[in-house]
Amino acid sequence: MTRTNLFLFAPLFLFVLEVCAADWSQPTEVRYEDTVVISYTARGDGPDLVVRANIGQGWHTFALDNVHSVEEKLAGKPALSMDRSTEIAVTGAQVEGPWHQSPPKDFSRPNLRMFSFGYDHDAIFAVKVRPSAAGGAKLRIRGQACTETICKNIDVPLTVAVPAKTGTSSEVKLNELVQAR
């Protein structure tokens, strides 16, 4: 391809990128001082509502079922501390079935009787929904993100169009998610 042809196709390529990115909501960021701790975007993907968490360098956040998993590991013993599970409340769409999530990483330190499950990179959360209001769904995401020394509470809103496109996304592989308990 010649340099001239490349310049002719560049605007088309940028348009395709913009359309693909437009499927996701505007990001909602959680910051600590000037650092982005975590940001969330969401979109309707056929019958699914998909939430993507982009976790900042050096930070980690927790699975939807972190508290349940920790209680299982403790088997009735008292916890020294417990990190909050991520919670996603949905209005404007009817949730139909359980949430699914990226397979969480085990951050546990059993010798200290400290158990925790979550993500130190990107994570995906998804649930089947049926629209119940025009104009999209409103989400409220609550949880916690931590470094080795600092924890930041999360309580952010997010708005997403539901339903959006039909079919499935090639970017989000929903079959790789696990059911949250």
The answer to whether the CB of 9 falls within 8 A of the CB of 15 is: no
Query: CA-to-CA distance for 62 and 83, rounded, in angstroms?
Result: 7
Residue 104 has pLDDT above 80, yes or no: yes
Return the pLDDT at 152.
95
Q: Mean pLDDT throughout 88-114?
A: 92
Residue 173 has pLDDT above 80, yes or no: no
pLDDT, one tens digit per residue, over 17-34 is: 333 445 899 999 999 999
pLDDT, one tens digit per residue, over 48-99 is: 999 999 999 999 999 999 898 988 888 888 777 778 999 999 999 999 999 9
Q: How much is the pTM?
A: 0.81
Return the pLDDT at 12.
35
Query: CA-to-CA distance for 143 and 112, rounded, in angstroms?
Result: 23
CATH number assigned to the domain covering 25-179: 2.60.40.1250
Return the pLDDT at 10.
37
Per domain, the residue ranges of the chain are 25-179
Return the pLDDT at 166.
52
Query: What does the block give as tokens for 115?
Result: 């158990």
Return the pLDDT at 109.
84
Banded pLDDT at 170 (limits 50, 70, 90) = very low
Query: CA-to-CA distance for 103 and 132, rounded, in angstroms?
Result: 29
| Distant-in-sequence, close-in-space partners of 93: CB < 8 Å, separation ≥ 6 | 49, 129, 130, 131, 132, 133, 137, 162
Range from 3-7, 10-14, 58-62, 92-96 carrying the lowest mean pLDDT: 10-14
Query: CA-to-CA distance for 162 and 134, rounded, in angstroms?
Result: 8
